[in-house]
Amino acid sequence: MSQADEPSKEKIVVTGGAGFVGSNVVDRLLSDGYKVVVLDDFYTGDINNLPTESERLEVIRGSVTDFDLVREVVRGAGAVLHLAARNIIVSTRNPREDYEVNIGGTLNILLAAREFQTPRVVYSSSASVYGNPRYLPINEDDATNMLSPYAVSKFAGENYCKAFYESYNVSTAVVRYSNVYGPLQRPDNPYCGVIAKFFESAMAGDAPRIHGDGDQTRDFTYIDDVVEATLLAAFAAKAEGQVYNIGTGRETTINQLARMIIEITGSAREPVCVDRRDIDNIRRRVVNIEKIRRELRWVPSVTIEQGLRRTYQWLKDDLSKTQP
């Protein structure tokens, strides 16, 4: 990211900045010298994820559903990285809350960005919008197929971004994340991903529990690569009005994932198969990342093996801090 691409205004707003992805984005922005304002309702976010002693970080407890608050937070921002959302588990349990936060909250961000002429809004979407794809790897312009309230609301947010870009000249960019994992994704969070859950089981001497036959695949993406792609979408001129897949282009079965984690942790317990989940029953997922490689010169730098080892080291270090 060149200095010419960096925003001229003094602050960067990160909604959902106390969450897993958001807090990693905040860490990177602070290390790059930005002033950061976090807006988070702490529904799933954790204040412990944030370096609250930093003089360049302001943390505001509140929801993106509060339009008056959103206006005050967005005013004067050099960019808004809109990562706040109810995740797929919460969304499935409470679709009305999903609608209010994921769709209504996104509309509030865009309305404020239009009012204050925010240089860029980055909207974090999800590969969930593709559902069960007909072809692999999945391109950004392939057919979408929403199979959950979460996927519906994330895609609605994408469409609002496109509409505000076309109708009101609000500069937006959309990043579709694919199965992000890594440090700060805490296993004790009931909404964490499968990698954190598998590590938790293996480190406790328990068998990793695989839903279904384990042959389903995902495109697991390490958090550092996701942060870099998100910031490129925020600051690169070419990203304006675009939608990008953020993944690795590599399929990994859940069985393979469990085996790698067992090997890394030295666990003696074999994985066990249990009933299928009642959500996110996608058979195969791997995204094509050629567009962002070509336009923004982004490629993932961390393999699944490297990322899992880094995640394991972080989990061990984090565990040691809590033990007497």
Q: In this structure, what CATH number is given to the domain that contains residue 211? A: 3.90.25.10
Residue 2 lies in a domain: no
Alpha helix positions (H), the chain: 20-31, 67-74, 88-93, 95-98, 105-116, 149-168, 194-203, 223-235, 254-265, 290-296, 304-322
308 and 234 within one domain: no
307 and 242 within one domain: no
227 and 124 within one domain: yes
74 and 29 within one domain: yes
152 and 204 within one domain: no
pLDDT for res 8: 45
For residue 117, the 8-state DSSP code is T
234 and 172 within one domain: yes
Please count the CA atoms within 13 angstroms of the CA of 276 that sit on its side-chain side.
9
Q: For residue 80, is pLDDT > 50?
A: yes
Residue 41 lies in a domain: yes
Share of the chain above pLDDT 90, in %: 87
Euclidean distance between CA atoms 113 and 79, whole angstroms: 9
Residue 137 lies in a domain: yes
234 and 169 within one domain: yes
For 94-130, write each residue's pLDDT tens digit: 999 999 999 999 999 999 999 999 999 999 999 999 9
Share of the chain above pLDDT 70, in %: 96
Residue 295 lies in a domain: no
Cβ distance 84 to 15 under 8 Å? yes
143 and 92 within one domain: yes
Give residue 250's pLDDT band: very low, low, confident or very high (50, 70, 90). Answer: very high
pLDDT for res 161: 98
- Any catalytic annotation for residue 150? yes
- Phi then psi dihedrals of residue 30, to 5 deg: -65, -40
pLDDT for res 5: 52
Q: In this structure, what CATH number is given to the domain that contains residue 80? A: 3.40.50.720
Q: How many domains does the structure of the chain reveal?
A: 2
204 and 131 within one domain: no
Work out the average pLDDT over 34-46: 96
Q: Which of 34, 123, 150, 160 is catalytic?
A: 150
- Phi then psi dihedrals of residue 15, to 5 deg: -80, 145
267 and 121 within one domain: no
Give residue 213's pLDDT band: very low, low, confident or very high (50, 70, 90). Answer: very high
Write out the residue range of the structural domain in which residue 193 sits: 181-218+250-281+302-319
pLDDT for res 76: 96
158 and 37 within one domain: yes
Cβ distance 170 to 164 under 8 Å? yes
170 and 66 within one domain: yes
